[in-house]
Amino acid sequence: MKYELVVFDWDGTLLDSAGAIVRAIQASCQDLDLPVPDDARARHVIGLGLADALRHAVPDLPPEDTQAMIERYRFHYLSGDQSLMLFDGVLEMLQRLQAAGHVLAVATGKSRLGLERAFDHSGLRPLFMASRCADECHSKPHPQMLHELMAEFGISAESTVMIGDTSHDLLMATNAGVSSLAVTYGAHPHNHLLDHKPLACLHSVKEVDRWLQDHA
């Protein structure tokens, strides 16, 4: 087994949620009469901790309005998150990895409360042995999430792979000395992901599953 620890991002990697996040950011700006970012700018911040994401998406956001923006974002996102679906093949891929003996974990820009809600809705909780969230660690691309996960299981960086759909995921892996896989069906475009030199850029969950079967 080359990669004993397999760490997944959540939004845009396992859950088809990037579009919902973009819409929630834009609706929150409208609620507060702030400049509305275009789709590309709003998608770029997916994967960061929520406060960091909103500050990057809306550079003119007054500091005193940050909490109101967070509350409006949560209102809009949570009003529809129960309808979001896992990408096709995610459950089967994770079950196969678990059965093969890999340690599975999540490193996400979500809050702990948000990830627990997502675990409950998706039914994936039993498949993951650990997780780290942006409100209990430094936000990506800081390597703390991966460092803590590797330390928890005593697994080296050489035996760990990070799988994500954004440059924030890939930079976190680089900063932690960990290999990465990029998926192109989430938030960031293919060419942008290639700039960060992942082991591969994969275009579907099926391709991710096949790559892991062949190389992990």
Active-site residue, 11 included: yes
Among candidate residues 9, 81, 165, 209, the one labeled active-site is 9
Among candidate residues 11, 165, 169, 209, the one labeled active-site is 11
Determine how many CB atoms are found less than 10 A away from the CB of residue 30: 11
In the sheet that holds 5-8, the strands lie side by side as 130-132, 103-107, 5-8, 160-164, 179-183, 201-202
What's the CA gap between 73 and 119, in Å, rounded? 20
What is the C-alpha end-to-end distance of the chain, expressed in Å? 6
Determine how many CB atoms are found less than 10 A away from the CB of residue 155: 16
Active-site residue, 9 included: yes
What's the CA gap between 145 and 45, in Å, rounded? 18
CB of 84 closer than 8 Å to CB of 44: no
Residue 70 is encoded by which pair of tokens? 């967070």
Q: List active site positions.
A: 9, 11
